[in-house]
A and B are shown apart, each in its own frame.
Chain A
Amino acid sequence: MIARFLKDEGVEYIYGYPGGAALHIYDALFRQDDVKHILVRHEQAATHMADGYARASGKPGVVLVTSGPGATNAVTGIATAYMDSIPMVVLCGQVASHLIGEDAFQETDIVGVTRPIVKHSFSIRHPSDIPTVLKKAFYIASSGRPGPVVIDIPKDMTAPTERYEYVYPRKVKLRSYNPVSRGHTGQIRKAVDLMMSARRPVIFAGGGVITGRASEALTALAHRLNIPVITSLMGLGAFPQNDPQSLGWPGMHGSYESNMAMHHSDLVLGVGVRFDDRVTNNVNRFCPDARIVHIDVDPSSISKTVHADVPIVGAADHVLNEMLNQIGQRTEAQEPLDEWWETINAWRDERRGKLYEPAAAGEPLKPQQVVEAVHRATHGDAYVVTDVGQHQMFAAQYYKFNQPNRWVSSSGLGTMGYGLPAAMGIKLNYPDEHVVLFTGEGSFQMMMQELSTCKQFGIPVKIVNLNNASLGMVRQWQDLNYKSRHAHSYMESLPDFEKLIEAYGFKAITVSTAEQLEPALEEAFRSKDELVFLDIHVDPREHVYPMQVPQGAMCDMLLSKTERT
């Protein structure tokens, strides 16, 4: 019944790992060809694969794991998806109903364990409920503000000896769940009033614009009013970065001009963002002169950290189009923004050419220049996946995104090990595209067993290992806050990555000088059908700048090891 439902729901791939409580389901999958199962090497990877696919496609990723350790191994991936509002359906085997509560072999109360990190969860109590519950799960996971949904399936619910009639439920209704779509016209009018009269407005667009497929509307609105656009880390690609109105992303390691512009603005139009602490810095000193308009599909996101002067609950696409519509009917002139753009362009000029110092001859490569070189080698249109740490920030800063759904990174939870499986989930579904993973030797070693999955299913991702032999971001904090006492932020006894990769039958290239970089990239990106691992030795002393000063306002930044605002 589960296999048939997945087929009818249009699911092509599921990611999982078998075990006792899930064996009936696995047997059903074995006896059909429509839904393809990808066997991972650790359940956490299954959730990240589903997550990567979901971020690139906008559709829910599907995971199948067994009870107990199978389910608990999936927890980190579920939490990752929850924090970034990623649609996912996780099917967990469970011990048979009569054993539940008896501490049976491989029993865990996974509904209880995952309760704070799911959008919703279900336990199947009768086999005939399976199609409806699954339909509800897919609906909840992918509508409104998306998120992961866990379904607990006791083994006896899938017993092949019992037969029930199966009908695919085309629609489900939940009396207590009706996600809003249209925004309130009156609130939108108030927001438009503010936008027409603002002297220093900024648009702050987040992941909600990508999830809500509202990039086009956002771009049209920004162009119509000539307002500068800042996207959050989750929103990279929601507005083309090659557009002169793009200021990049704000926050802890955001661009100088975006932090300066947001801090000095008199109006922030937040769309599908959650004003998280990595953006606002000290929330009491956040944007002192700005009125806040906050559009979000989830009312609980509004005024959670930053008070919204004009809250608008609704889907980004609808609200932005309604704004355009109302602006079209206005007769009054918009406040001119020339002076504001002059100020912004002056901020841009201040830091132009000073972002980092490329390596001198004989010096180790800078991670920033590697990201820039990869951007050139892939013509800026690859799917870019990252792990977590300095390399993640460098990738976000120096790879420029012009399309939504191309930047895939664990932003909210910051899950090391996320990258490789997420990249695999994308490459599997988009085999004709370049999928680049930026990782570090720390993150990569958390999930490197998945190379074996790449081998089994032929998943040729490109891996750029920015190897600084240390946990760079931890090291940076220790340099700045702990007088360079590098407590356990070094990586001794690293494997010989070339040999390791070759052991799986893949190609690895080691790069340690600037001269080797371009030829290595050329070789790596020549074909889209070959997994290539680039072990690039980069300068371990490099820090990520700008960096906001703790407890400061957005505009309080360290700009390099010697400069601050």
Chain B
Amino acid sequence: MRHIISMLLENEPGALSRVVGLFSQRNFNIETLNVAPTDDPTLSRLTVTTHGDERIIEQITKHLNRLIDVVKLVDLTEGAHIERELMLVKVKAQGSARDEVKRTADIFRAQIVDVTPSVYTVQITGDATKMDAFLQAVTPLGVLEVARTGVSGIARGDKVLSL
């Protein structure tokens, strides 16, 4: 099953490599990875999506917690949560396809953020399935380049991940 694990990490050089290294070292898989500083400059928030059965996910969270640089950790998939990703896609936009790209972008509530006579750059946000659906829709029109941020997430309700 797919899990979204989010953690607060000491904002120190080498901290990220410890997290990433752990995954390869213990033969766990990383599907997406997203990391940036938080409102507290000494902390980064790192979100990783991974696949595994209950036993593997338990091992992943335990081993992550064991890292000294990991301050706090939550498996967002355990409760109600919001999951977002941002994707930038360059799509061929010539002839009849030009209108089709625009229409598809509108349907997905995406925005066209850059325009040339032959290419539209589309920005879209949502969960991973929405990204996949949009890509599927525009692939026949000619996708030139894809940049995805990886998943970021937060729990619904009053629950917060903080110190």
A residues in contact (CB < 8 Å) with B: 111-112, 115-116, 119-121, 123, 140, 174-177, 298-300, 302-304, 307
Contacts and interface: CB of A to CB of B under 8 A. Distances in A.
A300 B66 contact: yes
Contacts of A303: 55, 58-59
A119 B69 CA distance: 11
A304 B26 CA distance: 11
Interface of B: 10, 13-14, 17-18, 21, 25, 55, 58-59, 62-63, 65-66, 68-72, 163
Given A120-B68, A176-B69, A300 B62 contact: yes
Given A298-B66, A299-B62, A176 B71 contact: yes
A112 B163 CA distance: 28
A302 B61 CA distance: 12
6 contacts: A140-B68, A175-B71, A176-B71, A176-B72, A300-B62, A303-B55
A49 B66 CA distance: 27
A304 B58 CA distance: 9
A304 to B, nearest CB: 6
Contacts of B66: 298-300
Nearest to A313: B62
- Which of A111, A119, A176, A303: most chain B Cβ within 10 A? A176
Contact of B68 (A112, A174, A298, A304): A174
A152 to B, nearest CB: 10
A140 B17 CA distance: 19
A140 B21 CA distance: 20
Given A115-B17, A307-B55, 15 more contacts: A116-B21, A116-B25, A120-B68, A121-B14, A123-B14, A140-B68, A176-B10, A176-B69, A176-B70, A176-B71, A177-B68, A298-B66, A299-B65, A300-B65, A303-B55
A466 B70 CA distance: 47
A115 B68 contact: no
Contacts of B72: 176
Given A111-B14, A175-B163, A304 B59 contact: yes
- The 10 closest A-B CB pairs, nearest first, are A300-B62, A176-B71, A120-B68, A116-B25, A300-B63, A299-B62, A177-B68, A300-B66, A115-B21, A176-B68
Contacts of A299: 62, 65-66
A300 B68 contact: no
A177 B68 CA distance: 6
A420 B64 CA distance: 36
Contacts of B17: 112, 115
Contacts of B59: 300, 303-304
B18 A115 contact: yes
A409 to B, nearest CB: 25
A112 B10 CA distance: 17
Nearest to A115: B21
A251 B54 CA distance: 28
Nearest to B69: A176
- Which of B59, B68, B69, B70: most chain A Cβ within 10 A? B68
